[in-house]
A and B are shown apart, each in its own frame.
Chain A
């Protein structure tokens, strides 16, 4: 079945440091890939997405590139801020690829703390 593997957290960075959160996936079809972010006490917010190989999703300074050859979708940001402190989830969905299931399969999440 489908699965998503994220790097273990928590990750603690100083403000303006470079961020990478690794994400790899296993899927039977050709999935769409997502990064969601969850702030304390809130639901999930879509951060960025990519629907085909070599697509780069970007939002709020975050970027991730859909790498089919390495089945990866690593999240990066050049300079993190304290306000980026949250839990980040990598997810995939096979919906639209003919596999029939549109559910999201999530990684375990990576907690990021940014200190001033």
Chain B
């Protein structure tokens, strides 16, 4: 079966612009989480969504937002981009929040470069 699909794979944006990243979870998975990966900070939790509701949010500024659609697909948006937002953004899906003991399945990520 298809895995977690993230689009686009690579993105270059200019400071001050905004960007939208997309994530399609594994069919049947209803929980989607987002993580930011940078060399300095490592992997940091951004948000978790289930049934179109944000269940949890990490310690990121309000410029970072997200949403989940009725088909479980999720998008995250970063407004007023800063150089420090350059990172690999990873999406992970699981059946449901309470099923995460089975492990999350991650996508290949979107590499965002802000110049």
Q: Which of A32, A95, A106 contacts B43 (CB 8 A)?
A: A106
B98 touches A34 (CB 8 A): no
Contacting residues, chain B, for A58 (C-beta < 8 A): none
Query: Is B35 close to A, CB under 8 A?
Result: yes
Do B97 and A102 touch (CB < 8 A)?
yes
Closest residue of chain B to A32 (Cβ to Cβ) is B101
Q: A88 interface residue, CB < 8 Å from B? A: no
- From A106, which residue of chain B is reached at the shortest CB distance? B43
CB pair A43 B97 closer than 8 Å = no
Q: Is A28 an interface residue (CB 8 A)?
A: no
B64 to chain A, nearest CB (A): 15
Given A89-B43, A105-B45, verify A44-B100 contact (CB < 8 Å). no
Q: Tell me the residues in window 72-115 of chain B with beta carbons closer than 8 Å to chain A beta carbons.
A: 90, 92, 97-98, 100-109
Interface membership of chain A positions 80-105, coded 1 if the CB is closer than 8 angstroms to chain B and 0 otherwise? 00000000010001011000011111
Give the distance to chain B from A27, nearest Cβ to Cβ, in Å: 14
Chain B residues with CB under 8 Å of A41's CB are: 108
Known: A43-B108, A43-B109, A49-B103. A104 touches B33 (CB 8 A): yes
The residue in chain A whose Cβ has the minimal distance to the Cβ of B105 is A46
Interface positions of B from 4 to 49, Cβ below 8 Å from A: 4, 6, 31, 33, 35, 42-43, 45, 48
Asked if A96 and B98 sit within 8 Å, CB to CB, the answer is yes
State how many angstroms separate the Cβ of B87 from the closest Cβ of chain A: 13
Which of B43, B48, B101 is A51 in contact with, Cβ under 8 Å? B101
Docked CA distance A63–B102 (Å) = 16
Given contacts A49-B103, A106-B42, A109-B42, contact A43 B90 (CB under 8 A): yes
Query: A104 to B45, Cβ gap below 8 A?
Result: yes
Is B56 positioned at the interface, with any CB of A under 8 Å from its CB? yes
Contacts of B33 in A (CB 8 A): 102-104
- Chain B contacts of A34 at CB under 8 A? 103
Chosen A-B contacts, 5 in total, with CB atoms closer than 8 Å, are A34-B103, A36-B106, A102-B98, A103-B45, A107-B42
Residues of chain B having any CB pair with chain A under 8 Å? 4, 6, 31, 33, 35, 42-43, 45, 48, 55-56, 58, 90, 92, 97-98, 100-109
